[in-house]
Amino acid sequence: MRAVLNSPIAGLAPWIVMSLFTGPGRFEEAVAGALGLALLVVFANWRLGNSVKLLEWFDTAFFLILAGIGLFASARVISWMELWGGEIANVALVAFALGSILIRRPFTLEYAKEATDPELWSSPIFIRTNYVITWAWVAAFGVSAIAGAIGDAVLDDAGNFWTGWIIQIGATVFAVSFTEFYPDYGPNKALAKMGVETDPPVSLVRLFDWIPAFVLIVGIMGLVTDSVSSTVGWVLVAVGAVAIGVMHRLFPAEKKAVADAVADAPRGQETPGAAQPPSTP
Q: Which residues contact 116 (CB under 8 A, 6 or more apart)?
A: 126
Residue 279 covered by a domain: no
166 lies in the same domain as 221: no
164 lies in the same domain as 246: no
Note the pLDDT tens digit of each residue in 138-173: 999 999 999 999 998 899 887 899 998 999 999 999
199 lies in the same domain as 223: no
Q: Which residues contact 240 (CB under 8 A, 6 or more apart)?
A: 212, 213, 214, 215, 216, 217, 218, 219
Average pLDDT, the chain: 86
Residue 253: the pLDDT is 60
111 lies in the same domain as 239: no
Residue that terminates a domain, selected from 176, 208, 240: 208
172 lies in the same domain as 221: no
177 lies in the same domain as 204: yes
DSSP state of 164: I
Q: Which residues contact 77 (CB under 8 A, 6 or more apart)?
A: 69
Q: How many CB atoms lie within 10 A of CB 185?
A: 19
216 lies in the same domain as 203: no
Is residue 266 scored above 80 in pLDDT? Answer: no
User: In percent, how much of the chain has pLDDT > 70?
Assistant: 89
Q: Which domain holds residue 219?
A: 209-259
Which is higher by pLDDT, 77 or 21? Answer: 77
Residue 272 covered by a domain: no
d(CA 105, CA 112): 12
Is residue 275 scored above 60 in pLDDT? Answer: no
Residue that terminates a domain, selected from 189, 208, 227: 208
Cα distances from 252 to residues 32, 83, 104, 256, 257, in angstroms, run: 43, 44, 39, 7, 7
d(CA 216, CA 118): 41
Report the number of distinct structural domains present in the chain: 2
Residue 224 covered by a domain: yes
Range name among 1-10, 73-82, 206-215 with the lowest pLDDT average: 1-10
